Amino acid sequence: MVKKSGFVPQKMQKNYSSNKGKLNVNKPLNFLLIVTLCSSILYGCGYQLGLVGTDKNVKKIYCYTVRNHTRRPGLEMPATNSIIRELQKRGEFLTVVSNPEDADTYLYVALIAITRTAARLSDADFLEESSVALTAEIRLYHSQISYDEETFTVIESEPPFYTQAVVVDTSFFIEPNQPEGEYAIIPQLMEKLGRDVVYKILDRWNVPES
The pLDDT value given to residue 22: 45
Neighbouring C-beta atoms of residue 136, cutoff 10 Å: 26
Query: Are 74 and 25 part of one and the same domain?
Result: no
Task: Look at 94-98, 114-118, 184-188 and tell me which has the smallest mean pLDDT.
Answer: 114-118
Q: Which residues constitute the domain of residue 21?
A: 10-44
Same-domain check for residues 66 and 158:
yes
Q: What is residue 161's predicted lDDT score, i.e. its pLDDT? A: 93
Number of domains within the chain: 2
Question: Mean pLDDT across the stretch 184-207?
Answer: 91
In a domain, 71, yes or no: yes
Task: Give pLDDT tens digits for 111-122.
Answer: 999 988 755 555
Integer Cα distance of 6 and 108 in angstroms = 51
The count of other CB atoms within 10 Å of the CB of residue 175 is: 10
pLDDT higher for 161 or 208? 161
- For residues 29 and 128, membership in a common domain is answered with no
| Residues 105, 80 share a domain | yes
Q: What is the CATH number of the domain that holds 106?
A: 3.40.50.10610
Within-domain flag for 208: no
210 assigned to some structural domain: no
